[in-house]
Structure 1
Amino acid sequence: MNIVQALFVPGYSSFYFDDQQAIKNGAGHDGFVYLGQPVTKGFQTVRQAGECVSVMLLLENGAVALGDCAAVQYSGAGGRDPLFLAKDFIPFLERHIKPLLEGRSVASFLANARYFDTLEIEGQRLHTALRYGITQALLDASALARQVTKTEILLEEYGLPFIAAPIPLFAQSGDDRYSAVDKMLLKRVDALPHGLINNVPDKLGFQGEKLEAYIRWLSNRVEQLRPDSHYRPTLHIDVYGTIGLIFDNDPTMMADYIASLQKAAGSLELYIEGPVDVGSKEAQIETMANITRRLRQIGSPVKLVADEWCNTYEDIVDFTAAQCCHMVQIKTPDLGGIHNIVDSVLHCQQHGMEAYQGGTCNETDVSARTCVHLALAARPMRLLVKPGMGFDEGMNIVNNEMQRTLALIQARRAAE
């Protein structure tokens, strides 16, 4: 079956683009917006509306396949592609990509995904957001053509077994890091709360005391609200490199502080994501490795998660080879073609690295649902609840898509 027509439609994503460096530099709040001038190229303000481009592929059977081009909240930071604005990219899609999509067979998802992921126009690969959305639509097109779920397309083309069990979910709180936790506990989320610790004076503390107090509150709140003794969520907190800021990127000092946080976490497992950002991939790997080595030397059970500078499949391979952390975030929009997400999870599994299939609050319902199917095929250790920062909406989208898909595949297989 072939694609008859390709359409590109501008839209909003589920959150906002934020200038991470300006926030780290101390941009203050004024209500929901940030004060001060942006410092990252492309930003007009420190916080601005998130955008997406929907790719719609009309098929010969009348079905319409969907994919959303979207980029992370902190675009242009940590080695990522620059800010993604619809007005800048729709003319490019119409001119260069539309002719390549229309008339194309959707018989093989992987062949199509690899083609567009490696395609160069005027000597440049496509922006990661474009590759992300185009390949989502191509996966949907293959599934609609064969009248199966997207999970089944991936299982078949990768030769993977179907496992009829949900993926553990990881929820993010945004700045609402207290009441959101209560919501997460009521819905028995497996890992929480992300926390958005992206500022030293307000959230981390100049000696790290505010994060320590927050983790202690988390542990106590779990004890207060958990419905039974069997429910013990993992604590997973993203600190956006701020620990490095208060300890001058000294690996020993950072490791000792991180290890001390386990006391506040009590018996709950603790993961700290992005403790430091030293400005390049090579330096990031070296510094993270030194922190991880020190944690092992002192017998700390706290685990580190790589985020900044670990963006592409190739980056994930390099971080894994160095064993410089315990878990890598597979930040889905940063990988471009969605097949790279599956490849990354499988690589981690084969090389002793925990895989967290993440992404961003700044995605859409379409990309979030697609990511569920990638996870059900590849089986990462945890899956981010997204999009948005409201928790309940993302939980509805991700959890329900996962449960529906598992039920449908099981029913089909029982009927065979």
Structure 2
Amino acid sequence: MRIEEIRAVPGLSGFFFDDQRAIKDGATQRGFAYDGQPKTDGFERVREAGECLIVELELADGSVVTGDCAAVQYSGAGGRDPLFRASEYRPVVEGSVADTLRGRDATLFRENAEALEAIDPARSGGDRLHTAVRYGVSQALLNAAARARGQTPTAVLAAAYDTDPATTPVPVFGQSGDERRTNAEKMLIKGVPVLPHGLFNSVEKVGEDGEGLREYLAWLSDRAAELGPENYAPRFHVDVYGILGKVFGPPYDRTEVTDYFETLREAAAPYPLQVEGPMDAGGRTAQIEQMAELRDGLADAGVDVDVVADEWCNTFEDVRAFVDAGAADVVQVKTPDLGGVQRSAEAVLYCDGTDTRAYLGGTCNETVTSARACAHVALATDAAQVLAKPGMGFDEGFMVVTNEMRRALARADAAPTGSESAGGPSGGSREAWRPTGGAGR
């Protein structure tokens, strides 16, 4: 079935664009907005309304499939592409992108996605297609292939990459936003497998000596025992946006740092803990070195806390560099930053056979369409965990991602043998750590 036409429509994303540099440098929150001057190119305010660009692909049978071009909340930070403006990139999608894809066979997802990546940058009006453009158009291509082949997007990806997809939902990671106690309690009642993110993006929230984070984890552990369902065994995951680097500073393998992480482990006990983005070293090479130093220091001290790469881990090449260096226990595959969804799948699969797990992440600033596409990427690659998105209200994103996985798995179970592949046995290397209870396995 041919791709006949491509259209683009500016739309809304599920959250906001925030100038991370300005926030880290002291912009103060007043109500929902921030006071202070923006520090990152492209921002007119520290917090701006999020945007997306809706992509529609019309197929030869008259059906229309969609994808949403979306960018992360902290656009322009940590080596990422600049702030995404839908109006700026609409002509690109309806121009060079449409010219490249019009008339192609919709069933050939991987080939079409590679053609998108190969578009001559000069034809798109810049150095390269913005990651958000590649992200949204590739979602539409994935949905087009699924439509044309009568399969789920999970099955399309599994065939393209010869994978054995997950046979039960991938553990979903809930993010609380600044409502870190109320939303965490919602997560606990619903039995969310991985939680709560926490949004610890300032020294004020973490504490001058890190005491705020430690006290929060102790509270969370107590509430998990009180509110969680029977046999609930979650994993705690907190994102500190590099702030621990401001609290302690390098080197990160010294006793002061490892002792602090041990207090975090004790506060979170009996639940396992992983800490995302402990420092921001200002560049990929330095970030890898400092993350590896921290990881080695924790291992030598016998401190059982996992570290998660986020800052300066944006592209497929970045993921590969962090994994090859052994710089993290978990890498976030931040889906909008990798461009096409096929690149996210490739990044997750690169972690197979290593001691680094893949967290299929993204941002609160996505859309329902992009979140649903990522649910299929998570299933097809059997990722270690997948982010609940979009938005910061938690409930909605958790529903979107969980239900999409359950629909895909139910469809695979109901299909005649050989007509719909959602896969044989799950990969075994990640099973030992998976949380139980709630929506996880």
TM-score (norm 2): 0.92
Residue 302 (structure 1) aligns with: 305
Mapped to 1, the partners of 2:164 and 2:228 lie a distance apart of 34
* 1:223 and 2:206 correspond: no
Structure 1 residue 220 displacement after superposition = 0.8
The superposition leaves residues 188-231 of structure 1 with CA deviations (integer Å, 9 ceiling, x where unpaired) of 10010000000112x10110011111111111111111222x20
Residue 89 (structure 1) aligns with: 89
Counterpart contact for 1:238–1:273, Cα < 8 Å: yes
The superposition leaves residues 111-163 of structure 1 with CA deviations (integer Å, 9 ceiling, x where unpaired) of 11112123232172211000001111101111111111111111112222244
Residue 152 (structure 2) aligns with: 149
Q: 1:318 to 1:231 in 2, by over 3 A?
A: same
Counterpart contact for 1:240–1:275, Cα < 8 Å: yes
Counterpart contact for 2:158–2:164, Cα < 8 Å: yes
Structure 1 vs Structure 2: percent identity of aligned residues?
A: 49
Mapped to 1, the partners of 2:418 and 2:151 lie a distance apart of 14
Counterpart contact for 1:243–1:254, Cα < 8 Å: no
Within 5 Å, give how 1:370-389 maps onto structure 2. 370-389=373-392
Q: SS at 2:415's partner residue?
A: helix
The superposition leaves residues 50-73 of structure 1 with CA deviations (integer Å, 9 ceiling, x where unpaired) of 100011000001111111000000
Within 5 Å, give how 1:167-178 maps onto structure 2. 167-178=170-181
Counterpart contact for 1:12–1:52, Cα < 8 Å: yes
Mapped to 1, the partners of 2:258 and 2:79 lie a distance apart of 24
Structure 1 residue 98 displacement after superposition = 2.0
Structure 1 residue 299 displacement after superposition = 0.1
Residue 204 (structure 1) aligns with: 206
* 1:115 and 2:115 correspond: yes
Match for 1:196: what amino acid? L
Q: Aligned match of 1:329 in 327, 332, 336?
A: 332
Q: Which moved more, 1:95-104 or 1:33-42?
A: 95-104
Counterpart contact for 1:274–1:307, Cα < 8 Å: yes
Within 5 Å, give how 1:59-70 maps onto structure 2. 59-70=59-70
Q: 1:63 to 1:222 in 2, by over 3 A?
A: same
Counterpart contact for 1:219–1:268, Cα < 8 Å: yes
Residue 435 (structure 2) aligns with: none
Mapped to 1, the partners of 2:166 and 2:385 lie a distance apart of 15
Q: Aligned match of 1:277 in 280, 285, 288?
A: 280
Within 5 Å, give how 1:11-410 maps onto structure 2. 11-122=11-122, 124-201=127-204, 203-228=205-230, 230-251=231-252, 252=254, 253-410=256-413
Q: SS at 2:351's partner residue?
A: helix
Mapped to 1, the partners of 2:352 and 2:258 lie a distance apart of 26
Q: Which moved more, 1:243-252 or 1:54-63?
A: 243-252
Counterpart contact for 1:385–1:395, Cα < 8 Å: yes
Structure 1 residue 414 displacement after superposition = 5.5
Structure 1 residue 106 displacement after superposition = 1.3
Q: SS at 2:58's partner residue?
A: strand
Q: Give the count of matched residue pairs.
A: 414
Mapped to 1, the partners of 2:291 and 2:165 lie a distance apart of 35
Q: Which moved more, 1:372-381 or 1:116-125?
A: 116-125
Mapped to 2, the partners of 1:30 and 1:181 lie a distance apart of 23
Mapped to 1, the partners of 2:221 and 2:399 lie a distance apart of 25
Counterpart contact for 1:151–1:374, Cα < 8 Å: yes
Mapped to 2, the partners of 1:188 and 1:107 lie a distance apart of 38
Q: Which moved more, 1:115-124 or 1:191-200?
A: 115-124
* 1:5 and 2:8 correspond: no
Q: SS at 1:413's partner residue?
A: coil
The superposition leaves residues 257-293 of structure 1 with CA deviations (integer Å, 9 ceiling, x where unpaired) of 2232111112110000000001000000001011111
Q: Which moved more, 1:110-119 or 1:249-258?
A: 249-258
Counterpart contact for 2:190–2:228, Cα < 8 Å: no
Mapped to 1, the partners of 2:26 and 2:48 lie a distance apart of 17
The superposition leaves residues 316-375 of structure 1 with CA deviations (integer Å, 9 ceiling, x where unpaired) of 111001001111001110100111111111110122211111100000000000001111
The superposition leaves residues 230-267 of structure 1 with CA deviations (integer Å, 9 ceiling, x where unpaired) of 20211000000000011123312433322321111121
Mapped to 1, the partners of 2:91 and 2:157 lie a distance apart of 31
Match for 2:236: what amino acid? L
Structure 1 residue 415 displacement after superposition = 9.1
Q: Which moved more, 1:339-348 or 1:405-414?
A: 405-414
TM-score (norm 1): 0.97
Mapped to 1, the partners of 2:224 and 2:403 lie a distance apart of 24
Structure 1 segments (4+ residues) deviating >4 Å: none
Counterpart contact for 2:51–2:84, Cα < 8 Å: yes
Mapped to 1, the partners of 2:70 and 2:276 lie a distance apart of 22
Match for 1:10: what amino acid? P
What RMSD over aligned residues (CA atoms) do the two structures have, in Å?
1.3
Q: Give structure 1 stretches of 5+ with no counterpart.
A: none
